[in-house]
């Protein structure tokens, strides 16, 4: 009897149980078997647009004063020419606000926006910020879909991302890669804080979307490092947190305003911490506060002066007219100077 239970009934019961589990599992909804990121693209792609801009330019030689008369006499040579540019943009608000790169629309006389569904319309410039190479344009179209917002702070190196844009003007294209690095600085301006990615980014992708695998916006694709002019695995995007803060300020005031000290700073090569004042702009806020070349800035408003980039960003976030407490060392003496933040001049 024991052998009957051991060799026949027990295996039969186990087999029946396994079979039941298989049947139950078969009745459950199974995850989609097709690998890829089609759902993420479906969520984000309708909010990514192609941008075509044109501007009328004179031949460069005709801008030189001594050749202007010659260009006017030979009008066929001096005739204005139309210069075209292409790029991408991202619909970030359903009331028509689109984020793109400043270099895509800078100086444009006309901006045409083409949507993913084939429609097209003209756009107007709301404002731009050359320091971060961002611009805000607006279209008067109803029924727009704003892209879902992600978090650039939560991204980690190695996370998968997708780039959506209009490379070489061939139409909306998706490429994939990972986050290669965060916080890349010193590439184009003092305010760089780029996400680096190896997702293929080519001319025409500028201003397009960098999204996560859930289809949420995490960055605005801006520039590439390339020896050939094409994608070589080193692309940069402005984090969505920074991009949206720039957009909100431009929508509210038409421009971006940054605090300004008027002092050139360099890393201190001697013993101790701080930044050396390499130069002071005459009549600037630092000059008015009594800061001198050769002074060592130890802290600003109690925050250690760790690097020229960090200090420049800290001052930039200070509203013009606000007071800045500068803890400095001059020779063997420590002093506290108070400067009134100015307004940073616009970048050419």
Task: For the chain, 348 residues long, give each residue's pLDDT as a single digit of tens.
Answer: 444 344 444 444 544 444 444 334 443 443 456 788 999 999 999 999 999 998 876 666 566 776 666 566 655 544 556 667 789 999 999 999 999 999 999 989 999 999 999 999 999 999 999 999 999 999 999 999 999 999 999 999 999 999 999 998 899 999 999 999 999 888 888 788 899 999 999 889 999 999 999 999 999 999 988 766 666 789 999 999 999 999 999 999 999 999 999 999 998 887 678 899 999 999 899 999 999 999 999 999 999 998 888 898 899 989 999 999 999 999 989 999 999 999 988 765
Choosing from 129, 133, 192, 198, which is the catalytic residue? 133
Q: Could you give all domains of the chain from N- to C-terminal order, each with its CATH number?
A: 42-138 (2.40.10.10), 160-253 (2.40.10.10), 259-343 (2.30.42.10)
Query: Model pTM?
Result: 0.78
Choosing from 88, 206, 212, 295, which is the catalytic residue? 206
pLDDT at residue 2 in the model:
47
* 105-112: long-range contacts, CB 8 A cutoff, minimum separation 24: 105/51, 105/53, 105/135, 105/137, 106/130, 106/135, 107/55, 108/53, 108/54, 108/55, 109/54, 109/55, 109/56, 110/53, 110/54, 110/55, 111/51, 111/52, 111/53, 111/137, 112/51, 112/52, 112/53
Choosing from 47, 53, 103, 175, which is the catalytic residue? 103
pLDDT at residue 32 in the model:
56
> Is-catalytic flag, 287?
no
> Is-catalytic flag, 206?
yes
> Is-catalytic flag, 133?
yes
pLDDT at residue 71 in the model:
66
């Amino acid at each position: 009897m024991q052998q009957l239970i051991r060799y026949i009934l027990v295996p039969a019961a186990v087999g029946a149980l396994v079979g039941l589990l298989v049947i139950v599992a078969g009745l459950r909804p199974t995850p989609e078997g097709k690998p890829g990121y089609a759902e993420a693209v479906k969520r984000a792609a309708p909010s990514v647009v192609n941008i075509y801009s044109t501007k009328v330019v004179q031949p460069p030689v005709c801008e030189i004063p001594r050749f202007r008369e010659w260009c006017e006499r030979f009008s066929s040579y001096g005739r204005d020419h139309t210069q075209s540019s292409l790029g991408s943009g991202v619909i970030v608000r359903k009331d028509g606000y689109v984020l793109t790169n400043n270099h895509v629309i800078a100086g444009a006389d006309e901006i045409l926006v083409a949507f993913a569904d084939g429609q097209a319309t003209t756009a107007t410039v709301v404002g731009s910020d050359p320091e971060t190479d961002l611009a805000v344009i607006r279209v008067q179209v109803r029924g727009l879909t704003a892209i879902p917002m992600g978090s650039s702070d939560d991204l980690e190196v190695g996370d998968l991302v997708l780039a959506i844009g209009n490379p070489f003007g061939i139409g909306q294209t998706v490429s994939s890669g990972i986050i290669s690095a965060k916080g890349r600085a010193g590439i184009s301006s003092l305010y760089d804080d780029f996400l680096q990615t190896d997702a293929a980014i080519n001319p025409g992708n500028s201003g397009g979307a960098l999204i996560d695998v859930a289809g949420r916006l995490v960055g605005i694709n801006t520039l590439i490092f390339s020896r050939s002019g094409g994608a070589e695995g080193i692309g940069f995007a402005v984090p969505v947190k920074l991009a949206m803060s720039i957009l909100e300020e431009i929508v509210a005031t038409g421009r971006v305003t940054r605090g300004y000290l008027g002092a050139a700073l360099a890393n201190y090569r001697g013993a101790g911490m701080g930044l050396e004042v390499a130069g002071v702009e005459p009549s600037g806020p630092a000059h008015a506060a009594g800061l001198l070349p050769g002074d060592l800035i130890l802290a600003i408003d109690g925050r250690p002066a760790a690097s020229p980039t960090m200090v420049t960003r800290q001052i930039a976030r200070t509203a013009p007219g606000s007071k800045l407490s500068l803890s400095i060392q001059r020779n063997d003496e420590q002093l506290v100077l108070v400067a009134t933040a100015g307004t940073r001049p616009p970048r050419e």
